[in-house]
Chains A and B, each alone.
Chain A
Amino acid sequence: MAGTKQIQTLSVEASTEHLAEVRDFVAAHAEKIGLSQKDISEIRLAVDEAYTNIIKHAYKNSNSKKVNIEIGSDSNQLWISLMDEGKGFDPSSYSEPDLIKRIKQKKRGGMGVYLIRKLMDQVQYTRKGQTNEIRMVKNL
């Protein structure tokens, strides 16, 4: 129904074992509201990168910790929030990855945040108390 909000939530442990489950969770919602295959692919990748960053950087691979994921949509936009209680991320400390430099230094990673910004229309990081939230929005 146009104009109604649809929201679904998932709570998972912060482990790469659950990556496919998390991707499938957001893809199912996106499919249900009739998004294109291209948009669904982009949302799957954006949530993968955000969740992977929480596992690696917020919780430093301590995989008993929880990540709460919420996906919602109305007639104008689809949003996905991931919430954790680990180390916060300061987006102002982030710079665009220089691929040549990273290859020379044999560094990997650091590309997830860049990809998320490319794939989604809005990305917002907030910290309230102990909770970090990344909220990603795609305009419909």
Chain B
Amino acid sequence: MKNFNIATRQHQHVSILDISGELDAHTASQLENALKSLIDEDNYAIVVNCTGLEYIASAGLGVFMAYIEDVRNLGGDIKLTNMNDRVYNVFDLLGFPSLYDILEDEQEALERFSN
């Protein structure tokens, strides 16, 4: 079975989650725990870098849906970056691009948080 991996980095006040592998109903809880930990520690400026993400199912998108409102109400955001075309297509089919900041590159997300 292919794995899903997640690692956290900090860039000034922005927390960056690097996710890789396959995000489905089995692995979504790992992403959920990582996001919860950040929010519990008052980190609301969050970038999810999807460079290594090979696959996403709706259970993975559900995690972003569950936390975006809270994070925005606390003055932050969850910005998604560096998706491959196949992964982006799933977000697009469900209408995410009009509601989420989905950017080509991590640097763009960091710049938006610094403005």
Contacts and interface: CB of A to CB of B under 8 A. Distances in A.
Given A109-B58, A111-B58, A111-B61, A16 B25 contact: yes
A17 B26 contact: yes
A109 B66 CA distance: 10
B92 to A, nearest CB: 10
Q: How large is the interface on A (under 10, 10 to 19, 20 to 34, 35 or more residues)?
A: 20 to 34
Contacts, number: 75
Interface stretch (B12-20, B41-49, B93-101, B107-115): B93-101
Contacts of B1: 17, 20-21
Given A45-B90, A107-B65, A99 B25 contact: no
Mostly, the A contact residues are: helix
B103 interface: no
Contacts of B93: 115, 118-119
Interface of B: 1-2, 22, 24-26, 55, 57-59, 61-63, 65-66, 68-70, 86, 89-90, 93-96, 99
A100 B99 CA distance: 8
14 contacts: A21-B1, A23-B55, A45-B55, A52-B24, A52-B25, A52-B57, A52-B58, A56-B25, A106-B66, A108-B61, A109-B58, A111-B94, A112-B57, A119-B93
A44 B99 contact: no
A23 B25 CA distance: 12
Contacts of A124: none
Contacts of B25: 16, 19, 48, 52, 55-56
Contacts of B70: 106
A118 B63 CA distance: 21
A23 B86 CA distance: 15
A37 B59 CA distance: 22
A106 B26 CA distance: 20
